[in-house]
Structures are given as structure tokens and as C-alpha cells.
């Protein structure tokens, strides 16, 4: 099921004083207030002993730090909706106070902006206090740490919050440029005719970050690149780029994404490269002999009619030369032409590049005649979405609004999450040897060999 018809009449944010709420949640709630989409009360729950006015001041600081030209009237409206309940999530009395604060609310949304280790505990306490009936639960990634733990977590959570009332956030699906993949493919006659094995040589997806782990050492060392961005973000992007046209009911897009994953064999560790940038082990919170990967490159396949035989390359890493996120659909080379004494050579492939990072847009690589010569050279057609369409909303604006109105389209279902864990599980069970790489490079040199037969990795520009 995708839609729950009842609009939320209360939003409860666990972890309201945490980093995620400060950077993302509170600014998103301001923007929803500005658009008239936040009409219910907001109850913040945290460990700190704060008064309502102290939470309001923290919220003001968060919003003013993230939003340009804050409208004081809108901010005052948001702050007037905020209430705070302090206490330990393990303390049953906290939930008694929460029940009292909810009053006559009958369709609350509980959003857990907390570590995943707290998901089940909070859900069970909510159920014990009689607060789970008709409520929706929103949880952050990662959902489990492998296939087994994800299955166990899902079984226990859905015993309290059924699938249609359990919303699992993957903020990449809330990104406007990621959602735009569907529009680019199916709202234009230009792309879909060449979007298959008949014309495509390979597909690449890159998520590059030019910074390291920084102050997140203790968190990241228990996660790594596979769990942090591949199992969730990048596989979801791949599904949108590879799926069949959606049709039918409201669950059409989730069904099409699931079809892609079910057609994918699990990754072969022999077709993967793991790396760790030099100096990672010296970061505070990182184990001195850590084997956590900060870079991953792998080759996958989709065994269906559209994509059979076409290699899919995924690459993600930290401390790389630039920050960029892009999907590259590399077309097959055209044949060489001869007429008379002329020869038309095409030494490379044309790329269709969907930029889904900060510099969202499309780049189409083509070849044109070099002036004054009988040879071709590559040129690019570039479209920058921000210049043409304006600034897009932040992902959490869309996702929180959808959760409040009961639209789960952009929240991965359990069957999808189970498949993505299945796909990456061999890398977790039998990882290839970890290779070191220097900061500011494109990872271990062996990663280049994965895509060498298909024209090599495309090098993104800064900000792509």
C-alpha cells in the first residue's frame, strides 16, 4: 500500500536536539510552515532537560543558520507549535507524558531522528503506552546492518507498525534531481528509444566526495561505504535509471523499482574493489587497525530483457578529487564510415550524464566536425536545472510532507530493502582485500580495471 488517507494531527520528533534535527529536520519544518503544509503540533523528545522556550531558541538558531531571509512571522508560527519532553527513551514515564502532550491526537507521526539502535526500543515503548494504534513510524537509514539483521528488525517493527504505517527514509529519493530521472526518461522522446541493451554500452553511477570522514569517525567506522551509500542511495538511483515505465496504481514506481532488484544477481566479490584512504586510521573514533572501506567500486548486472549483458558500474568514495553524484549512460560506438577518400572515425563513446548532485542537470556528449579538418571531436550539450528551474526543495521537506499526509511513494518498502541487502550481502560476507589510496585520487588503481573494457570511468567535474 502506498497511501494512508488520514493526515497527521501531530508530529513527534525523537532526537529533536540532535545533529540531524538541527541540520535537516527543523529547517525543513520551517519551509513546510512557510508553504502552509505544517498544520499540526510538533512535540520534540530528547535526553536534555529543556524548557519549551529553550527548544524554541535552539530551533530559531537552526533555522536562521540554514535559511536565507527568514520570515519572522513564519518562524514564530513554527515556534508556537513546538513543545518539548525530556527524558530517557527507556523510561516508561516519558511515554506517559507524551500521551498527555498528544491530547486528543488520533493520527500522530513518530519520527525517529535517532541512532538505529533505538528504533525497536522506542517502537515497543510506544506500543506499551498505547500510542502505536493508527500512528505512523518514520525511521532513518540504515535499516539493519546486513540481510539477517534487517529481516529481524523488520519482523519485530512490523508486528507493531504494519508495513503501510512504517516509513523508512532514504533521503536520496527525496532529492528533486533523483526524482527527475523518471521525468527525463519518460516525459521526453529523446532518451527512451536508446535506453536499452540495443544502444547502451554500459551504465555508471558515481557518488564522489572530496572530503573525508572528519568528525564522524566513530559512526563511520561501524558502517563503511557499502552500508552508508551503496545498499541504499545508489541502488535506488540505479533502479530509477533502469526500471520500466510505471503504470497502474499509486504503487507503480515502487513496483518497478522492485522488478529491477529482483532481476539483479548478488554482487560477485571478484567484481568489486574496496579501498581506504591514507590517514583514515588516525581519525578520532576510528580503530587503529580498522578494515572499514571508505571507497567501493563494483560491477553488477540486471538480467532482464532490457538490460541483459550490459555491465552496471557503481563507484563511491571519500577523499576523492571532487564532490559529484551522477548517472552515466554510455552509448555504443557507431561504426566507422568510408566514402571516396574520406574516413569518418568515432574513437570514443557518447555519454548521457544525469547529474543528481549539487549541480543538477544533464550533459549529452556528442561528436562534431573539427573546423578545417576531416576529423571529429567531442563536444557537450549542457543543461543546468537550477538556472532553468530555480532552486529545488530540500529532500527532507518533501519526505516529511509526504509522511504527514500519508504518501509512502518515496519511502522504500521492505521488499525493496530486503532485495538491496541480498545484492550486497556477499561483499559483507567475503570482502575483497582492502587497498589503500591517497587522498585526492580516484581510489585504488585496481578500480580502473573494472570499467576499462567499457571506456573507463567518466571523470566528473567539480560540483557535478
Give strand pairing partners of 167. 138
| Residue 458 grid cell | 567518466
Report how far residue 233's alpha carbon sits from residue 325's, in angstroms, rounded to the nearest whole number.
11
Beta carbons of 25 and 113 less than 8 angstroms apart? yes
Cα 288 from chain centroid (whole Å): 30
Burial class (CB in 10 A: 0-12, 13-18, 19+), 372: exposed
**What element of type H or E holds 128?**
helix 119-128
- Overall size of the chain counted in residues: 464
Residues recognised as catalytic: 233
Q: Which residues contact 146 (CB under 8 A, 6 or more apart)?
A: 421, 425, 428
Place of cell 564522524: 216
CB 16 within 8 A of CB 113: yes
CB 361 within 8 A of CB 382: yes
Which three cell numbers, joined as nine digits, stand for 462? 567539480
CA atoms within 13 A on the CB side of 182: 19
Q: What is the rounded CA–CA span in Å between residue 382 and residue 398?
A: 27
18 CB-side CA count, 13 A: 16
Collapsing DSSP states into helix, strand and coil, what is residue 131? coil
The set of cell numbers assigned to 195 is 535506453
3-state secondary structure at position 12: strand
**Nearest partner of 157 among 146, 144, 172, 171, judged by Cα:** 144
Q: Output the CA torsion 409→412→414→418 (10° steps).
A: 150
Q: In 10 A of CB 310, how many CB atoms? A: 20
Are the CB atoms for 157 and 126 separated by under 8 Å?
no
Amino acid at each position: 500500500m502506498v497511501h494512508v488517507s488520514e493526515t497527521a494531527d501531530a508530529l513527534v520528533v525523537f532526537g529533536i536536539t540532535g545533529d540531524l534535527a538541527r541540520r535537516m529536520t527543523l529547517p525543513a519544518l520551517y519551509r513546510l510552515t512557510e508553504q502552509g503544509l505544517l498544520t499540526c503540533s510538533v512535540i520534540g523528545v530528547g535526553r536534555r532537560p529543556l524548557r519549551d522556550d529553550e527548544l524554541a531558541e535552539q530551533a530559531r538558531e537552526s533555522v536562521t543558520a540554514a535559511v536565507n531571509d527568514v520570515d519572522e512571522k513564519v518562524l514564530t508560527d513554527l515556534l508556537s507549535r513546538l513543545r518539548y519532553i525530556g527524558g530517557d527513551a527507556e523510561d516508561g514515564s516519558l511515554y506517559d507524558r507524551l500521551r498527555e502532550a498528544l491530547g486528543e491526537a488520533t493520527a500522530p507521526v513518530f519520527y525517529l531522528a535517532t541512532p538505529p539502535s533505538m528504533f525497536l526500543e522506542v517502537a515497543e515503548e510506544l506500543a506499551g503506552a498505547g500510542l502505536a494504534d493508527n500512528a505512523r513510524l518514520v525511521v532513518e537509514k540504515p535499516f539493519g546492518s546486513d540481510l539477517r539483521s534487517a529481516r529481524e528488525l523488520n519482523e519485530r517493527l512490523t508486528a507493531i507498525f504494519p508495513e503501510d504505517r512504517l516509513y523508512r527514509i532514504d533521503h536520496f529519493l527525496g532529492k528533486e534531481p533523483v526524482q527527475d530521472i523518471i521525468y527525463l526518461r519518460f516525459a521526453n522522446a529523446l532518451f527512451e528509444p536508446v535506453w536499452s541493451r540495443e544502444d547502451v554500452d554500459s551504465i555508471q553511477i558515481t557518488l564522489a566526495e572530496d572530503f573525508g570522514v572528519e568528525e564522524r569517525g566513530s559512526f563511520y567506522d561501524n558502517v563503511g561505504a557499502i552500508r552508508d551509500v551503496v545498499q541504499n542511495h545508489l541502488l535506488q538511483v540505479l533502479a530509477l535509471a533502469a526500471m520500466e515505465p510505471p503504470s497502474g496504481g499509486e504503487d507503480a514506481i515502487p513496483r518497478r523499482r522492485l522488478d529491477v532488484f529482483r532481476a539483479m544477481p548478488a554482487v560477485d566479490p571478484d567484481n568489486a574493489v574496496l579501498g581506504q584512504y591514507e590517514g583514515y586510521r588516525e581519525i578520532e573514533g576510528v580503530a587503529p587497525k580498522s578494515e572499514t572501506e571508505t571507497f567501493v567500486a563494483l560491477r553488477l548486472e540486471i538480467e532482464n530483457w532490457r538490460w541483459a549483458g550490459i555491465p552496471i558500474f557503481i563507484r563511491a568514495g571519500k577523499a576523492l578529487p571532487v564532490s559529484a553524484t551522477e548517472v552515466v549512460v554510455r552509448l555504443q560506438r557507431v561504426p566507422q564510415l568510408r566514402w571516396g577518400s574520406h574516413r569518418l572515425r568515432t574513437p570514443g563513446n557518447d555519454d548521457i550524464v544525469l547529474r543528481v548532485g549539487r549541480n543538477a542537470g544533464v550533459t549529452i556528449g556528442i561528436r562534431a566536425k573539427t573546423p578545417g579538418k576531416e576529423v571529429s571531436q567531442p563536444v557537450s550539450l549542457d543543461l543546468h536545472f537550477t538556472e532553468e528551474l530555480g532552486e529545488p526543495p530540500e529532500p527532507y521537506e518533501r519526505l516529511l510532507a509526504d509522511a504527514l499526509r500519508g504518501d509512502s511513494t518515496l519511502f522504500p518498502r521492505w521488499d525493496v530493502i530486503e532485495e538491496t541487502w541480498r545484492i550486497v550481502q556477499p561483499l559483507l560476507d567475503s570482502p575483497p582485500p582492502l587497498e589503500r589510496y591517497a587522498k585526492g585520487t580516484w581510489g585504488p588503481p585496481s578500480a580502473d580495471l573494472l570499467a576499462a573494457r567499457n571506456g573507463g570511468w567518466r571523470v566528473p567535474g567539480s560540483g557535478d
